[in-house]
Structure 1
Amino acid sequence: MENQNNNSKLKSIIILLAVLLVGSLIYIFKLTSDAKTLETTVSTVKSEKEDVMKDLAELKSTYDAAIAENTTMSDELIAERDKVVKLMSELKNAKGDNASLRKYKDQYKSMEAKMKNLMQEVEVLKKENQQLTANLDSTKVVLDDSKKYNQVLVGQNEELAKTVEKGSKLSLTNLKTAAYKVKSSGKEIATDKASRADMLKINFTIAENKIAKSGDKTYYVQVIDSKNNVLGDKATISFGETSLTYSFTTTVKYENKTVEVSEQLPGKDFQKGTYFVNVFDKGELVSKSSFSLR
């Protein structure tokens, strides 16, 4: 009887130990599983955090490149670049949780959209600057001539000599240009359509000047189309340090009286837009006008 009681107690102890062992194994398995899940979550958040940091770094590089071009938008670009740098600093020190990371992702998307808008504005400014540069190049000869002319005036010592020199120069007026379609019969029909034009007619008047020097006078006529191309001969001549590309020359016998000058410039495939006509006396611009073809 006593042995049976001992056996029962032993069995109870064994069963209890077995239950405890199973419970321990289940607890250990749960801890291991939770640890792996946590490790996976931390790894995923870390990877996504690195991706957002990389995206922000690329955003900063885009702003740095745009700022280096020194446009009129530099201040606004610098301000947005500084916001990106600040967000990178905050992200670096942020807690590695999904809620925090989601906030930084949303801020990055907003900054990216802002950057795209600013880059479009920068491109518009770049194109406008390129067009401005092209226009400045086309008038360089005029600016160079004006500079040279001013230097000559400053260098002169006697006011009387300056007055006589200025008064003896010939004055050109009524500079006009029109496009024509020339029929096979030779008849000229005025037109303002580029597709119909095959000749330009340039007219101007040399005013009477009693103190000017008489004799043959040669003028250089420059016609520039809407694409900044010089039409006609496209010949280049130098006057000291200044060079001039012109369309044609016209020589007039001047005898101190008013003279009407009319010249023709044949051509084809005229461009639509505004044309500029400049008349030079050697390197000096003495008259200018413009007209348009549609």
Structure 2
Amino acid sequence: MKVLNNSSVKKVLNFSPAILLILLVIYSFNTHENKNELEDEFFKEKKLLQNELNKIVADYKEITSKKKWLTKRVVNGMNKIIALKDSVEQLEKVNYDLLFKYSLKITKLERENRKLFLKVESLQKQNTKLRSENTQVKKDLQAEEKSFSSLVAENKKLKREELALKRKVNIAGTIEISSVLVEALKEKSNGKYTTTNRYKKTDAFRIKFDILPNELANIGNREIFVQILDDHNNTVPSEKSGSKNEISYNDLISIDYDREKISVVSLVSVDRASMNEGDYTVNVYIGKRKVGKSIINLR
């Protein structure tokens, strides 16, 4: 068998420690004739083999600490190495055949170790990529949530503005009336009326006002209620007294509103015997909304 020179040994250093051990076994077998020297060399090579096994075990332990989900596979590999390590440690006598056999096993385990490392590296890259994608997804989700919150806030704002606009439109479309003019009347023998300020001579009230034009108001029928209250806030009895929509009235007038001005005159007849001295309040309602008021004093 050809003996390895120094140049050959240097070239082999580029290979794995396990292959180096195999070559060292062959080298030692061919170059050591002295028994003591051969034993010394054997135990040196055994020590190298143990060191290599310790290194592989350490590598496996490092993977186990970093990748818990690989534990079962790594533990199986570690058990094989530990068993091999125990077998090497039990070699007390020179036995190059077993040392050579164990070296071959180390070579095989080293290949498995390298594949496992490559797998771990690949999984690490995938995990890093997934974390990066997950981070981006979270950022996108946060952006979507922020956008959604912004849209909700904008929608609420628009609804508030819409309600405010509706209120403004409703207010703008409200029908109003002019000032209410009230007169107390005394009926003459010929059936005509003249004004008076004496309660004992009051036979009627004449109420005048105008329905004002409004281009934004709805066209259609409107009910106008005229209400006359005495000093005690009681509705004065009259021929046309009634109650509707929780409003007691002395006169009910129905008009067909077409957004133009309408002059209204209400004549309410009363019994002068039921009249008393004091202030009389006249309220005007369109529907349920009070739109005008006036007070007249009778002595």
Q: From the CA coordinates, give the structure whose radius of gyration is larger.
A: 2
TM-score between the two structures when normalised by the length of structure 2? 0.43
TM-score between the two structures when normalised by the length of structure 1? 0.44
